[in-house]
Amino acid sequence: MSMVSIPMPEELEHVLKPILDRAPAKGAEWLRAGFETRLAELYQQWQTLHISTARFAELLGVSPWELDDLLRERGLKVTNLPG
């Protein structure tokens, strides 16, 4: 499994840190949900050619190869080329 690093605003970190300390599973669930939402938003921008593959990966905090793996794991198209 790949490790993903996402920059987080400090005020959000202050909210999530206590939850992760008290209930790690719940905090992890929230983080996954946020990551999946961000992935979906960026995927739409990428499919409509508003961002490049490199930018998509950068905004998710992963390499282009890890991005490919993430898309394949979710059954999403791994190219934004028409057809």
pLDDT digits (tens, 9 = 90+) for 30-81: 778 888 999 999 999 999 999 999 999 999 888 999 999 999 999 999 999 8
* Whether residue 16 has pLDDT greater than 80: no
pTM of the entire predicted model: 0.73
Q: Which two tokens stand for residue 52?
A: 């490049």
As a whole number of angstroms, the distance between CA 28 and CA 51 comes to 28
As a whole number of angstroms, the distance between CA 65 and CA 25 comes to 28
Rounded to the nearest 10 degrees, what angle do helices 10-22 and 24-47 cross at? 140
